[in-house]
Amino acid sequence: MVDNKDNSDLDALVSVEYTPMQCEVTPWDDWLKNSKVRFIKAPSEPQILAIFYGQEKYTVTLDKVAIIKTSDATCDACGADRGYKIQAYVKLKDIQVMLDTGWRRVYSK
């Protein structure tokens, strides 16, 4: 849970990441599959994320979304990752939405 005692830092950007797994339906995949939203051209994953988090389900703005390849070797077995992760920045006030939808916060080293 986010501590809202100091509202001055709630607009600070924090890093989050999501590692999609094989056989997993991400929250935005599920939303897109069941929504009436249609595209002329297939959208990229960052575009889908922007719509899902920013317009359709929540009011979260994702900043600096990056798809980062993590492995050349992937398998189709359930429980294996898809060979990439998604990194983005969100405002601290929105971190709970991200945690609730499977993202994890990344702390600087």
Label residue 62 exposed, middle or buried (CB < 10 Å: 0-12, 13-18, 19+).
buried
- Residue 31 sits at φ, ψ, to 5 deg, of -60, -45
Mean pLDDT confidence for 2-6: 50
Kindly give, in sequence order, each residue whose CB lies less than 8 Å from that of residue 51, ignoring residues fewer than 6 positions away.
37, 43
pLDDT computed for residue 1 by the predictor: 45
pLDDT computed for residue 74 by the predictor: 66
* Cα angle for residues 30, 44, 28 (degrees, 5° grid): 20
pLDDT computed for residue 87 by the predictor: 96
Give Dmax over CA atoms of the chain in angstroms.
45
pLDDT computed for residue 65 by the predictor: 94
Computed over its alpha carbons, how large is the radius of gyration of the chain? 15
pLDDT digits (tens, 9 = 90+) for 8-64: 688 889 999 999 888 888 999 898 888 888 889 988 999 999 999 988 778 999 999
DSSP letters of 19-78? --BTT---HHHHHHHHS----SSPPPHHHHHHHIIIIIS--PPPEEEEEEE--S----ST
pLDDT computed for residue 79 by the predictor: 66
